[in-house]
Amino acid sequence: MNKTVICPGSFDPVTLGHLDVITRASRMFDHVIVAVLVNSSKTPSFSIDERIELLKETTRALDNIEIVSFNGLLAEYCRQRRVDAIVKGLRAVSDFEYEFQMALTNKKLNPQLETIFLTADSDSMYLSSSMVREVASMGGDISNFVPSCIHNKIVERLNKGINKN
C-alpha cells in the first residue's frame, strides 16, 4: 500500500533541520509532499517560488519528493491530495505544545488524517529559519545551518544590509 505524507512549513529559508526531517520521511514513506505555506500575514525573506526552488535544489537526490505551495487549511489540502499523514519535526517541548494543538485541530477537520512527530537530530535541535535569517543578516557564518548547495543564495539575500568595512 502506497503511503503519502506531507511535510508542511514556511521554509524561509530551508535549513539542515528541515532537510533532516524531509530525508527521514522519504525513507519511511512512498511519497512525500513538501508543502510551502502561503501565509499572507507574514513578510517572508524569500518568495514562494524562491523557497520552492531552494527546496528542489536541496532535495534533488530524493526521488520520492514533490515540492508544492498551498494556502488555506492544511487539513483540507491533505483531503484533496489524499495524504495519509502530516510529518512535523520537533526541536523542543515548546514545539510540541504548538504542534500538538495543530495536530488535534487537523484531526477534527479531517478525521482520517494522522500527525507523525519526528524528533530533531541533536545537531539541529536549536536550528530555526528565523535564527538563520538573524545570523545571516548580521554577517554571521550560516554554513553549519543550511545545505551547502543553497548557502550562497541565502547569504546573498540575507546579508545585503551588512556594512563591509
Q: What is the DSSP string of 99-153?
A: HHHHHHHHHHH-TT-EEEEEEPPGGGTT--HHHHHHHHHTT---TTTS-HHHHHH
Given a cut of 50, is residue 72 above it in pLDDT? yes
Q: Is 41 exposed, middle or buried (0-12, 13-18, 19+ CB in 10 A)?
A: exposed
Quickly state the pLDDT bin for 165 (edges 50, 70, 90). Answer: very low
Residues 20-45, mean pLDDT to the nearest whole number? 93
User: Rounded distance, CA 58 to CA 149, Å?
Assistant: 7
Q: Catalytic residue numbers?
A: 18, 42, 91, 129
Rg of the chain over CA atoms, in angstroms? Answer: 16
Given a cut of 60, is residue 164 above it in pLDDT? no
Cell 550560516 found at: 142
Please compute, for residue 150, the number of CA atoms within 13 A of its CA located in the half-sphere on the CB side: 26
What are the pLDDT digits (tens) for 52-63?
999 999 999 999
Question: What mean pLDDT is reported for the chain?
Answer: 92
What are the pLDDT digits (tens) for 12-22?
999 999 999 99
pLDDT at 162: 53
Residues 75-102, mean pLDDT to the nearest whole number? 93
pLDDT at 45: 94
Given a cut of 80, is residue 65 above it in pLDDT? yes
pLDDT at 161: 55
Given a cut of 80, is residue 41 above it in pLDDT? no
Given a cut of 60, is residue 94 above it in pLDDT? yes
Residues 105-130, mean pLDDT to the nearest whole number? 92
Given a cut of 50, is residue 46 above it in pLDDT? yes
Residues 89-102, mean pLDDT to the nearest whole number? 88
What is the percent of the chain with per-residue pLDDT over 90, rounded to a whole number? 82
Three-class HEC string of 41-72: CCCCCCCHHHHHHHHHHHCCCCCCEEEEEECC
What's this model's pTM, rounded to 2 decimal places? 0.92
